[in-house]
Amino acid sequence: MRNRNATAYRFLAPYLLIFSVFWVWPIISSFMISFQATRTVPWRFAPGFNWGRLIGDPAFFNALKNTLLILVIQVPVMIALAMVMAVLLNSPLLKARGLYRFAFFAPVVVGEVAYSAVFRLMFSLDFGIVNKLLNSIGLPKIDWFSNVTPAMALIMIAVTWRWAGYNAIILLAGMQSIPEDVYEAATLDRVSKLKQFFYITVPLLKPVIVFCTVLSIIGTMQLFTEPFLITERGGPGGGTETLGLLLYRQGFRSLNFGYASAVAYTMAALAIAITLVQLWLTREKQ
């Protein structure tokens, strides 16, 4: 290839401009804002102001605790479920594959607002179809919105419903890129299907599984719309408040940009840590 600086930058410039203004600069800017007291005019540099408050803020720790709790339970369950979906959708024994694919993949196109609304109705105390169905098989109604544990469960159910198929698509694509003859060789060696799954599929798919997990963790970490709309601004009483919601309230309800930036950078730090773990997990073995 010949060096073509001018040509290359002519193609690159429009995107690079937007990318710098609306991504690179805000990343830097956000970091700086987190060290400023922003409720005075003009803003002044006060390194301990937001971060100091953060360390002692029960609301922050509540949000952090809730976010991590959702992460720890919801992500593994969803990835496992996505894996099951992918394996079964990939089975040559499956008939009407298109219908099943539609069922699991359809939530991928559903917007957060639309499905939050549906879940709110489906899980409402007296008139929700879920409680009605529970009742009809003799189980007691559950008050999904007034108690913390069911409310958290509801958030996790909703997120899992929305994103499991998405992960299944990625895992399925990964599985289909494993050459068929590897399995044929294993079958000839009388390796059972179950063992083939654990000793061939899982190891070969590891980078994809790790990728899905990281993607899901970073996605769930920013969870906002579901607790905002389904459990009514993180209710009951902050029981489903997440970091995303805290950032929204601090930044855009109280207009406390400095503190919200500190919350944002806490999320960034978590994301960086998780990405490093991913790199370590999928590093090339010598």
Partner 1 sequence: MAPVTLNNVAKRFGAFEVVHGANIDIKDGEFVVFVGPSGCGKSTLLRMIAGLEDISGGEIAIGGKVVNDVEPADRGIAMVFQSYALYPHMSVEQNLSFGLRMTGNPKADTDRRVKRAAEILRISELMDRRPKKLSGGQRQRVAIGRAIVREPQVFLFDEPLSNLDAELRVQMRVEISRLHKELGTTMVYVTHDQTEAMTLADRIVVLRAGHIEQIGPPLELYENPDNLFVAGFVGSPKMNFIKGRIVGRDARGVLVELAGQEKTRITQPLTGTAPEVGSKVIVGVRPEHFGDAGEGDADLVVGIDVIEHLGGTSFLYARTVHGEDVVIQRDAAKVPETPEITASIRKSYLFDDKGLRLR
Partner 2 sequence: MSSLSSARLRRSIALHLFLTPLALIWLFPLWMMVVFSTMPDNGIFSPGIELLPHGNFLDNFHNLQRDTDFVGAILISVSVAVTYTVLSVLLTSMAGWALARYKFFGKGVVVAIILGTITLPYAVVLIPQFIMVARDFQLANTWVALIVPPLFNSLGVLFMRQSFSMMPDDLFDAARVEGVKEWRIFLFVALPLARPMLAALAIILFLASWNNYLWPLLINSQPGSMTAPVALGTLIGLTKVSWGGIMAGAVMLTVPMLIVFVLLQRHFIAGIAAGAVK
Q: Name the residue nearer to partner 1 (CB basis): 2 or 190.
A: 2
Task: Pick one of partner 1, partner 2, none as the site partner of residue 239 (Cβ within 5 to 8 A by kind).
Answer: none
Handedness of CA 209, 212, 216, 218 (dihedral sign): positive
Per-residue DSSP letter, 205: H
* Binding of partner 2 by 82 (CB under 8 A): no
Site for partner 2 in 114-153 (CB under 8 A): 114-122, 126-127, 129, 132-133, 136
Q: What DSSP line would sit under 257-284, residue for residue?
A: HHHHHHHHHHHHHHHHHHHHHHHHHTPP
Query: Of the ranges 67-75, 139-147, 178-186, 253-261, which one interacts with partner 2 (CB under 8 A)?
Result: 253-261
Q: Residue 222, interface with partner 2 (CB under 8 A)?
A: yes
Residue 96, helix vs strand vs coil: coil
- 112 contacts partner 2 (rule: CB under 8 A): yes
Residue 77: name the closest of 207, 195, 167 by CA: 167
The contact set with partner 1 (CB under 8 A) reads 1-3
Give the shortest CB-8-to-partner 1 separation in angstroms.
Answer: 15
Kindly state the smallest distance separating residue 242's Cβ from partner 2, in Å. 11
**Do 117 and 229 touch, CB atoms closer than 8 A?**
yes
Stretch near partner 2 under the rule CB under 8 A, chosen from 25-33, 44-52, 56-64, 195-203? 25-33
Q: Contact letters (x/-) for partner 2, 165-204, by CB under 8 A?
A: xx--xx-xxx--x---------------------------
Distant-in-sequence contacts of 179-186, Cβ < 8 A, 24+ apart: none
Q: How far is CA 18 from CA 27, 28, 44, 47, in A?
A: 13, 15, 28, 30
174's contact among partner 2, partner 1, none, with CB below 5 to 8 A by partner kind, is partner 2
Q: How many chain residues bind partner 2 (CB under 8 A)?
A: 100
Residue among 139, 78, 127, 120 nearest 233 (CA): 120
Name which of residues 44 to 73 contact partner 2 (CB under 8 A): none
